[in-house]
């Protein structure tokens, strides 16, 4: 399974459910179990990473705040944003954490380029930024037992108001989305397909397949 990636398109599911499923898969996977890429959206939620500070929660209001075990500070998840979780055996792939971060950033940059949007990474602040310095995608990862989980958030066509309620990642930067740079606005599914192609190539997979069952209930049998 070293050169195979299984892609699951999970739709919109709540954050706590996906977090529990990621932990379960990571803690119970065997040496020959498939690497997974989960593509989904979350209902509106703020999540605090391990480095999170309450100072960055400006006015969360009625949007719930959930503590997460990923790296980084506070971020926002909501409909219209691609959330991609990378459940990968890094030892099997021969990748370090920095290699993984670079591959993920470059996959988002390449996807932006598919829509003629210039984007770049910053060495001092993981994520992807447009030419004017606004942040279009965020990263937050965790590695346990040599395997990664959590992943990236790529803003496509979402309500941006909730970003005003936090200091995203503690950076004090403006947030943006693909909708503000592209006309007509591509669908989530279209962008997800391009992102998947770039991720698979940059992570070194010879092939990827879409799971026939796109639910979290059958992961124990993978």
Annotated catalytic residue within 12, 112, 147, 169: 169
Q: 116, exposed or middle or buried, with CB in 10 Å at 0-12, 13-18, 19+?
A: exposed
Other beta carbons less than 10 A from residue 159's beta carbon: 13
Strand residues in 18-175 grouped as ranges (E): 35-41, 45-48, 65-67, 74-77, 81-89, 119-121, 128-130, 135-144, 147-155
147 in active site: no
- Give the span between the Cα atoms of 23 and 27, in whole angstroms: 6
Catalytic residues: 169
């Amino acid at each position: 399974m070293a050169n195979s990636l299984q892609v699951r398109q999970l739709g919109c599911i709540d954050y706590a459910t996906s977090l529990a499923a990621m932990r379960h898969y990571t803690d119970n996977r065997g040496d020959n179990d498939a690497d997974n890429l989960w593509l989904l959206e979350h209902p509106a939620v703020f999540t605090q990473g391990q480095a999170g500070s309450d100072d960055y929660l400006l006015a969360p209001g009625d949007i719930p705040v959930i503590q997460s075990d990923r790296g980084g500070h506070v971020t926002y998840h909501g409909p219209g944003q691609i959330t991609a979780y990378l459940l990968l055996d890094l030892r099997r792939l021969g990748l370090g954490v920095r290699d993984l971060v670079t591959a993920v950033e470059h996959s988002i940059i390449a996807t932006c380029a598919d829509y003629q949007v210039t984007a770049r990474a910053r060495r001092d602040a993981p994520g992807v930024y447009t030419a004017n310095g606004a942040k279009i995608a965020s990263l937050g990862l965790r590695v346990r037992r040599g395997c990664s989980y959590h992943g990236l958030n790529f803003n496509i066509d979402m309500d941006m108001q909730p970003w005003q309620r936090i200091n995203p990642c503690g950076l004090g930067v403006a947030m943006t989305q693909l909708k503000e740079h592209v006309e007509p606005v591509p669908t989530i599914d279209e962008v997800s397909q391009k992102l998947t192609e770039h991720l698979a190539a940059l992570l070194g997979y010879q092939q990827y397949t879409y799971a026939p069952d796109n639910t979290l209930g059958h992961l124990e049998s993978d």
